[in-house]
Amino acid sequence: MNKKEVFAWGMYDLANTIFAALFVTFFFPFYVKEFLNGTEFQIGLVFGLSMLAVAVVVPLIGAWSDAVGRRMPFIVFFTLLCCFFTSLVVGVSLKWALLAGFFANFSYHAALTTYNALLPKIAKPSEFGKVSGIGIAMGYFGTLISLGIAAIILSRLGWETAEGARAIFIATAIMFFVFSLPTFFGIRELSRMKTSASAVFGSVGYTLRNFSRFKSFFMFLLSMFFYVNAINAVIVFLFLFARQEIHLGVKAFFIVYVLQALGAVAGSFISGRLVDSYGPKRVLCWSGILWIGVIGLLYFVSNFVMFIIAGIVGGAALGMVWTAQRPKLLEMVASSKVGQFFGFLELANKFSGIIGPIVFGALVSFVNYRVAMLSLIIFFVLGLFFLKFVPGDVK
């Protein structure tokens, strides 16, 4: 394990989690609903449809990066695109803000396909869990950094103001770009010969035609599909839920989010070691059970203290899922197809991003938050069911 490359790789987890925290979970839903008169359903459509768009192209991006033997050009391109559209949300109408949010989220998730596929380059198989956990933990340190900078901005411009929210979008774009630079320049890749588009399509086509040979991987995709359905809905709507159900303001939610990030850091570090000791499947099972408990707690939440507890435990469970997911995939596929199969995993995750937020947003808009919460438990139960059919460390 090259510590410098691990650090450079982990810095991208730090950078992109800033976008996930400030844009996806917090200020885009808040800004659209409070200042542009948007609805939860529209917010769910933005994130859901952007996931659908990226789901169509991620296997091709992964196969293309496998063929050329390089990941960084894809990461750099989509990161820059994400930063551009994040800043574009400022000062536009609802329609254009929703469109900018669509492309920002699309670019963010497209970059993750090839970023995850860098893991075998910088770590040995026996270190996958540890290094994956380091990356996820660094990501949540990024959340803490971003919340600190956002708190300084909002203390000057106002915690509940449109001006403060707009400033956060600009700050998010800048931080995402700046903290990505160590990854852009710290990981060296050797160029290979150019490959044709037909070769890329042919590789993906072969895998799809012979997908019956990868039944275990298909069960893994189904399991993660249901897990991430629920997780994406929580990420998108957690702040709006807290605002509606226990009347939490922006400043109070910052406290919860800091504690949630600390829980995720701890969960990531600990689960990284657990993955290497007990196997990624077992850690994924534990995380699913923990998530069901968190959703149950949120269903009955009635005060700030209960919400803080749910946030801390949920943060740990979130870190466990992201830490164990990458090593489990690497355990199941050939090294020559890592990028392509990460593409298929991202495809499953992106389709999760379509159904989860849209279903949750629709249930909130047409029924209420409590009923929407029950749908998340169903998703996790289904995820645990399909995980039983994945070979590994849990019988």
Domains of the chain: 3-185+196-387 (1.20.1250.20)
- More confident: 26 or 15: 15
So what's the pLDDT on residue 342? 65
pLDDT at res. 104 = 96
Who contacts 395 (Cβ-Cβ below 8 Å, separation ≥6)? none
Whether pLDDT at 199 is above 70 = no
Question: What is the average pLDDT across 301-323?
Answer: 89
335-367: pLDDT as tens digits: 666 655 666 676 676 666 677 878 888 898 888
Q: What is the mean pLDDT of residues 143-166?
A: 92
Closest CA to 117 of 284, 265, 390, 334: 334
For the chain, what is the mean pLDDT?
Answer: 84
SS3 content of the chain, % helix, strand, coil (to 5): 85, 0, 15
Its pTM stands at: 0.71
Q: Judge whether residue 278 has pLDDT over 60.
A: yes
What distances in angstroms separate CA 192 from CA 69, 249, 313, one per listed residue? 6, 52, 45
pLDDT at 204 over 70: no
pLDDT on residue 395? 39
Candidates 113, 111, 105, 112; CA nearest to 62 is 113
